[in-house]
Amino acid sequence: MTACAAVARAECPSTPDDALCRPWTAILLPTAYATYYAPNNGSGPWFGGGLEVSSVWSDNSPAFGPSQGKLRFDVGALASGTMGTGTMVMYRGGAQVSFERNASRPWLIPYFDADIGGLWTSATGSRAFVDGGLGVYLWHKRGLIVDLEVDGLLPFSHPADLGGAHTQLALSFALW
């Protein structure tokens, strides 16, 4: 039996013959997300949700570069359990790119992300920030993408107070 065994491969073949291995892109993919933001100053935690517009790709091949990725812009509204804090608007644009070059599977694909954006409340006005972190595509197929990310948020002003953790669970779906 050992002499008859074939080599097992976890990557896609060089000539994709299965739908998972065929490259694809989607532009203006709508996304809904739930988010959590915990600033260091204790004014939170903030919970909320929002909408995102993104361009995504999948290229499970031996070609150079990440196999999955997303360019995005999102806007969300967050509320805090702390009395008198009002509503926070978080907006940002950025990218996600997978670590793997040839994932050959639609689930649990790790990625890193980086964004630039802003936080707005009526009390503080608008404050710019950058964030970056790690995430995982829980499911990444042409019609449905589910991803979870955890970021460190670093504002340009008052970083000791407004810096903190940011988590987002997103659901992207193809309308066409």
pLDDT higher than threshold 80 for residue 2: no
- What pLDDT, in 10s, does the model give residues 94-141? 999 998 887 778 899 999 999 999 999 888 889 999 999 999 999 988
- The conformation of residue 33, written as its DSSP 8-state character, comes to E
pLDDT range class, residue 86, cuts 50, 70, 90: confident
Give the start-to-end residue ranges of the domains of the chain. Answer: 24-173
Instruction: Provide the pairing of β-strand 46-58 with 125-140.
Output: unpaired
Average model confidence (pLDDT) for the chain? 87
Instruction: Enter the pTM of the model.
Output: 0.83
For the record, the structure tokens of 176 come out as: 């066409």
Over residues 16-34, the mean pLDDT reads: 79
162 — phi, psi (to 5°)? -95, -10
More confident residue, 158 or 170: 170
What CATH code is assigned to 24-173?
2.40.160.20
pLDDT range class, residue 8, cuts 50, 70, 90: very low
Query: Exposed, middle or buried by CB within 10 Å (0-12, 13-18, 19+), for 135?
Result: buried
